[in-house]
Every structure is written in C-alpha cells, then in structure tokens.
Amino acid sequence: MISKVKGLSLRNKIFFANAAVIAAVLVFLWFLCSAIFYDTMIKRVSDDYRITLENIAHNIETITRTTEDYARVISQSRGLQQEILDYLQVEDTDKRYYRTKLWAGLAEAGSDIINPTTTVSGMAVFIEDEVVYCGYDISENSIYEIMKPDDLKRAREQQRPTWNSLSILKYNSPYNEKEYVFPVSKLIRDKNTGRELGIVTLFVGENYFSAAYTVQDSIYNGSRYYLVDNNNDIISSSDKSILRQNFCRVSGLTEEQYEICIYNGNLVEEEERIPLLYSSIECRSGWRLFCITELRELASEKKKMQVLLLLILAVTLILLLLISWLIAQTVTKPVYQLLNTMNKIEKEQTEVRVPDNLGGEVGALGEKFNSLMDSLSESRRAFLQEQKLKRKNEYKLLQAQINPHFLYNTMETIASFVKMNMSKEALAALHNLAGFYQLSLSNGRELITVDREIHLTKNYLALQKLRYAEYMDYRICFSPETLSYNIPKLTLQPLVENAIYHGVKESRSKGMISVEGCISGENLLIVVYDTGRGIKEERLQELKKRLSSGNPTSEDSFGLGNIAQRLKLLYGERYKMSIESVQDKFTAVVLQIPLCNRLDDEDDILHIHENLLRR
C-alpha cells in the first residue's frame, strides 16, 4: 500500500490528500455548523428575551420609583402633617371625637395620590403604631395583619420608603374582596421641627406589576414571566395561584441550575427534546424577573437546517474535488513564488512585490497581496493622526456617558409640587433644572471655567435639596484665584451625585456635603466631602485598588470610574484621585489636576493628546 502511494504522481498525491482532508473537514463542518446554528439561534432568542426583560424591568423600576415618590410627597404634605399635629395636640379624652375630622382630613390629603390613574390601591396612616386612617374600604384588621411592629420600626429606622413582602389586603365589602399588594411605608417627619409624626403606608396592587408582562404573555405564546424576591418566592405572576410559592419548585429548576441562570442571565435545558429557555434579570434590589419559554419552533428549524447543510456540503464536496484536481496541476509553481515573496517581506524587505505574470487565482491573490502591502504603507503614515483622534473620541464618549438620570425624578417632583400648590418650590426647581442644562451644554465646549462648573453643581445640588430636604445640606467653597481656570465639564457633578446616593441618602441623620477647591503649586486641588454612611473598609480598599490600577470601578460607583477614565485620557499620569472614608462618619474624594487657563478647549485637548503619544 505504501509503495503504491509512493508511486503516485505529485498531482495525484495532492488530489487524494486534498480529497481526504476535504471529506473530513466537511463532515466536521456539518457538525460544527449545526452546533453553531443552534447556539446562534439560542443566543438570538436569548438576546430578544433579554431586551424584553430589560424593558419589563424598566417598567417595574418605574412603578417602584413612582410609588416611592408618591410616598415622599404625601409624607411631606403640609395638609397631612397639620392634621396629625392638630390630632396630637388634642387631649386623650377628646381624641375619639376628633378621629372623624382627622379621618376626613387624611382622606383629602391622599386624594391626589390614590386615584384610578396611579398604581396606589389604598393608604393607611399610623400614629404611635395605631392605625388612625385606612381609607378606601380597607379593613383595619387587615392592616394590622400586614404591618407588624417590626415593619413600622424598620420604616422609622430607614426613614426612606421601605417595601414589605407581598401581602393580602382585605376590603370591607359583602363579597369579602381581597387583593395581593406590596406595602410601601414612609416616615412622616415635621418639616419645621423634625419631629416624628407617624408613618404613612401605601398599598401597591400586584396586578400593576404583572400587567407589565401580561402583554408579553399574549405576544409570545409559551412564555411565562415571574417576579421573584430574595427568598426565592414568587411575588408577581399572571397566574395568581402560584404567588408566594418557591420559584424552583414551580419551575422545576434545581438549586444549581437556578444559580447558573442568575449568574449567566439565561439557561437552556431540554424537556422531552423541547428546548426550554430560562432568562433572568435583576430589576431592583432583591427582586429578579424570570421568563420561561418553550422553543418548539427552534427544534423544528434545527432539523430542517441540518438536512439543508447536509445537501450543501455534499455539493460542496463534489465541487471541491474538481477544484482540487485543477489546483494540483497548476498551483505548485505560483504558490512557491508567492511564498518566496512573503519570506522576503518577513525579513523586512517591505518594498518587494509579487511578480505580475503568475496568472490565475494565485496571480489575483498576488495582486491583492501587493495592494494590501501598499495600503499598509499608507496606513503607517496615518497612524499618528488616527491615534490622536481616537483618544479625543474616547474622551468625548466617556463624557457623554454622564447622563442626568435625575431628570425624570425632578419632573416628578415638580409635578408633585404643582399638585400640592407649592408653586414657589416648583418654580425654583424649574429654574435650577434650566440652569443646570444651560451650563452642562456650554455651547459644546469640553472644558469650562471652575466658576461655571461651580454654578452647574449648585444648580444640581439645589434640585436635589428640593427632593431630599430631610437628608442633606451642602456648601461650596472655592478660593477666588481658582475660578478662571478651566477644568473638564461635569467633573464635580458625578462626585456630588455619589455623595448623595451612596453617602448622605443612606445615612440615618441629615448629612452635609462639602465641595472645596484651591491651588496647590501647579495643580488645582478639589475635595468633595460628605458626612454620610461612609464606606466599609473592604469596599474602600477595593475602590482604591481599582483607581490606582486605572480599571473602571463597579456600577454602584460609576461616577468615580468615569471621572478617573476621563481625566486619565486628558492628563495621563499628571492627575491624581484618592478616596478616604470611615464607615458611619465620612467619605472624602480628592482630585488633583494640572492648571489650565487656555480658552480653546478643543485645541487644548489635542495638544495634551499629542504630548501623551510622543511619550
């Protein structure tokens, strides 16, 4: 056998060798393409459902934020607070008779929030753990069954709106009506004295959450959506009979499969040869949204594609065998000439080109190769300018990521002020919002003066002060000589936003945010300080490590990572950022950037980038 192979001509050796390789490759490709097609379709379907889940999660997040805003607005209502103050001043012997007036006053105070156009089904008010109001035919005994003393204690301690677990709310009706609801409680504190007056609890119907994906159930037949809490219990579903049951038991997933689905965002399992797609996404702290979909059509399409691939590969095999026979006769000499040229180029003889007389496919390949080498020579000359533009674009992209997420909440706050006839507060919010956007746009400039950056930050803080008057206060102090220097636009705002949402807002007492700046040698020194809850030591060391390594920080500290990356792109190693914190005491972020007083920020940025590239 070996002697017969040796006796074959070179052409036949090439042909039979190619035939064996082609056959093996085509068989391999058949299995590979089938697997790739299946995986691609799974990924595409997974991505589609991922987008759907993200949209549903956004709707759920909107419902929760709106409800929390309602709770804040009604807890700060002057009418409601005045009714409670009047009630507390009444003698104990007269409170029984005053209860009717209090009931009517509280009902009027909550009428703007609890109506058919909102997600709130009912409201209850507690004074010293006693229900003094539970309007809209809600059973008072049902309120006590839902809201335990520990729940009220938690609302007092956290001070911000707190969500309780899914509960059954009963109504006073001859039909024994009841409804699945989520209680949301908010501490009522006197705006003037800070005195604790009571707790208001809003009841959000579970049907408002399930409505967010009931439409999707009708569009994608075979898809089932579940909202699950951190105890792995179902808290919202189109099928009300499975509420408050364990999700793994209902879905049939094992604990290991459940963890994989959470970690990867999706999981595919087969049940009786029918693929089942499990998708999940976190929609708010402690809640996850799951979707289970039967992919029957995908299994059918997979079989059709396998047959089609088999036919295509069979035809391809025949054609390749014919081509292989022709290549065996003509390709040897031109290929060696081409390889010789490549070897010379590999030895830095970059001006060498493939001869023009090769002819055929290899000749065309040689022409393309020559064209490619010419293009590479031209590309080298354009490389430096390309790198300059790349750095500039990266800088602009990072700056564009600073999106004013507070816009929606600010508009909701303004709407609430209008409803409560708080025209001065609404007008102040509108002025501050307009001023913030006017300064943040800054005629498209990337660098603005410290003075304009301070005004932009003041507008932002004034807006947040209207929303979180009970949580925060602030002061800004910059030395006069710093005001004329230029800094990157929106440098202070993300740091201040971090101080609010991860600092003073999480604190149990009213906090102070301080923004200070001065000149230190050839640098501008900026300190953003807050007396919030601080950062745990382990988390603080992780942040310091990430900042020192230049890697982006995690999502819950996005502002720090964005500022660090933008300043590094702009100033290289000439900027410094540090962070210090003591848990439950303070957090301080210190920025040190080179002084810049040029007026043309575009030229300044390019000038800095050129210096970085040369280094």
187-237: pLDDT as tens digits: 999 888 888 999 999 999 888 888 877 765 544 556 889 999 988 999 999
Task: Give the residue with greater pLDDT, 564 vs 549.
Answer: 564
User: Is residue 534 within 8 Å of residue 579, measured between CB atoms?
Assistant: no
User: Is residue 588 within 8 Å of residue 602, measured between CB atoms?
Assistant: no
Q: Work out the burial of residue 70: count CB atoms within 10 Å of its CB; fewer than 13 is exposed, 13-18 middle, 19 or more buried.
A: buried
Q: How confident is the model over 322-336, as a mean pLDDT?
A: 71
Q: Work out the burial of residue 84: count CB atoms within 10 Å of its CB; fewer than 13 is exposed, 13-18 middle, 19 or more buried.
A: buried
Q: How confident is the model over 471-484, as a mean pLDDT?
A: 91
User: Is residue 490 within 8 Å of residue 456, measured between CB atoms?
Assistant: yes
pLDDT, residue 228, reads: 93
Binned at pLDDT 50, 70 and 90, residue 574 comes out as confident
Task: Give the residue with greater pLDDT, 322 vs 583.
Answer: 583
Q: pLDDT averaged over the chain?
A: 79
- Percent of the chain beyond pLDDT 90? 16
Tell me the per-residue pLDDT of 104-140, one tens digit each, with 9 for 90 and over. Answer: 878 877 776 666 656 788 889 998 888 888 876 788 8
Highest mean pLDDT out of 191-195, 288-292, 369-373: 288-292
pLDDT, residue 599, reads: 46
Task: Give the residue with greater pLDDT, 327 vs 486.
Answer: 486
Q: Where are the domains of the chain?
A: 76-208, 401-614
CATH of the domain spanning 401-614: 3.30.565.10
pLDDT, residue 601, reads: 46
Residue 406 in this model has a pLDDT that exceeds 60: no
Tell me the per-residue pLDDT of 517-527, one tens digit each, with 9 for 90 and over. Answer: 999 999 999 99
pLDDT, residue 467, reads: 78
Residue 248 in this model has a pLDDT that exceeds 50: yes
Residue 241 in this model has a pLDDT that exceeds 80: yes
Task: Tell me the torsion sign for CA atoms 606, 607, 610, 611.
Answer: negative
Binned at pLDDT 50, 70 and 90, residue 613 comes out as very low
Return d(Cα 520, Cα 592) in angstroms, integer. Answer: 9
Task: Give the residue with greater pLDDT, 286 vs 405.
Answer: 286
pLDDT, residue 430, reads: 81
511-520 and 472-478 as β-strands: parallel, antiparallel, unpaired? Answer: parallel
State which CATH number among 1.10.3470, 3.40.50, 3.30.1070, 3.30.450 fits the domain covering 76-208.
3.30.450
Tell me the per-residue pLDDT of 35-52, one tens digit each, with 9 for 90 and over. Answer: 787 788 888 888 888 888
pLDDT, residue 330, reads: 67
Lowest mean pLDDT among 118-122, 291-295, 541-545, 589-593: 118-122
Return d(Cα 47, Cα 160) in angstroms, integer. Answer: 35
Return d(Cα 282, Cα 107) in angstroms, integer. Answer: 36
Q: How confident is the model over 59-75, as a mean pLDDT?
A: 88
Residue 2's alpha-carbon distances to 14, 21, 266, in angstroms, are: 16, 18, 54
b (16+ CB within 10 A) / e for 113-150 = bbeeeebbbbbbbbbeeebbbbbeebbeebbeebbeee
pLDDT, residue 600, reads: 46
Q: How confident is the model over 437-462, as a mean pLDDT?
A: 79
Lowest mean pLDDT among 93-102, 486-495, 497-506: 93-102
Residue 379 in this model has a pLDDT that exceeds 60: yes
Highest mean pLDDT out of 202-206, 329-333, 347-351, 431-435: 202-206
Residue 475 in this model has a pLDDT that exceeds 90: yes
Binned at pLDDT 50, 70 and 90, residue 614 comes out as very low
Task: Give the residue with greater pLDDT, 321 vs 81.
Answer: 81
- Percent of the chain beyond pLDDT 70? 80
Residue 535 in this model has a pLDDT that exceeds 60: yes
User: Is residue 237 within 8 Å of residue 291, measured between CB atoms?
Assistant: no
pLDDT, residue 10, reads: 54
Binned at pLDDT 50, 70 and 90, residue 294 comes out as confident
pLDDT, residue 615, reads: 43
pLDDT, residue 346, reads: 74
- Domains 76-208 and 401-614 are alike in CATH topology: no
